[in-house]
Amino acid sequence: MSAGVVVTLRQAELFRSVPAGDLEAVAAVSRRRSFRRGQVVFHRNDPGETVIVVLSGRVKVVVRSADGGELTLTVIQPGGVFGELGVADGGVRSADAETLEDCELLFVPLAVVQDICARIPAAAQALTASLAATLRRLTDVAADLVFLDLPRRVAKVVLSQPRDGDGAIRLRVSQEELAHQVGGTRQSVNAALRGFERRGWLASRDGTLTVEQPAALARFAGTEVSAR
């Protein structure tokens, strides 16, 4: 396994406190897989036998209704970890996971992560913090769906996007994917974005929407501007 995998593991919060020798052992027993855009990583109710580290690309975690409706719970960026709920309860997957673009993923056996958390208190604490953060995020999602109208939900998701190297927030997800994140339709999301453009909060350049006035958009959404 390449040294780059160990470096990526070190960047993940769950493995940040793990000694180098243990990280090398984790990398050695883990399985690296390539996925094309739109491939399913796992389905809800699949056995939760691994914790997955995103080496490159992005993965969405979603729940789907019987009639095909979809709600994106989170998007995992490079260096992120998902599937860690199984470390705590050994249960099945609670949602679907699907790649948003070509990805390289590292599948770490569940037993290996459980052993690390049992031996290294800081790793166990990181796992607890990760699960708590997930619970807080899902609480926020539920509250937004109930208490915020769709344009404000769109504004919050736009502001949550990672910043580019120049500090700008650029919307690189499709309107359909954005609709899945806010629990709306592509048409309603398009209407909200056009409204933001008319107010001067967003600007379209070369087919990409860039946030021009993040503070104004944040006031509208009732949130803070992300510093990421």
24-64 pLDDT, tens digit per residue, is: 999 999 999 999 999 999 999 999 999 999 999 999 999 99
**Total domains in the fold of the chain:** 2
Q: Tell me, yes or no, whether 119 and 184 share the same domain.
A: no
pLDDT reported for residue 163: 87
- In the predicted model, is pLDDT for residue 225 greater than 70? no
Q: Tell me, yes or no, whether 159 and 137 share the same domain.
A: no
pTM exceeds 0.95 for this model: no
Three-state secondary structure call for residue 177: helix
Contacts of 135 (CB under 8 A, 6+ apart): none
Give the structural domain span for 170: 148-221
Q: Tell me, yes or no, whether 140 and 154 share the same domain.
A: no
* Residues 35, 99: Cα–Cα separation, whole Å: 7
Q: Tell me, yes or no, whether 197 and 103 share the same domain.
A: no
Percent of the chain with pLDDT over 70: 97
Mean pLDDT, residues 101-113: 95
Which of 125, 145, 165 finishes a domain?
Answer: 145
- In the predicted model, is pLDDT for residue 170 greater than 80? yes
- In the predicted model, is pLDDT for residue 206 greater than 60? yes
Which of 145, 166, 187 finishes a domain?
Answer: 145
E runs forming strands in the chain: 31-35, 40-42, 50-56, 59-64, 70-76, 81-82, 96-99, 103-109, 170-171, 202-205, 208-211
**pLDDT category of residue 75 using cuts at 50, 70 and 90:** very high
**For residue 14, what is the DSSP state?**
G
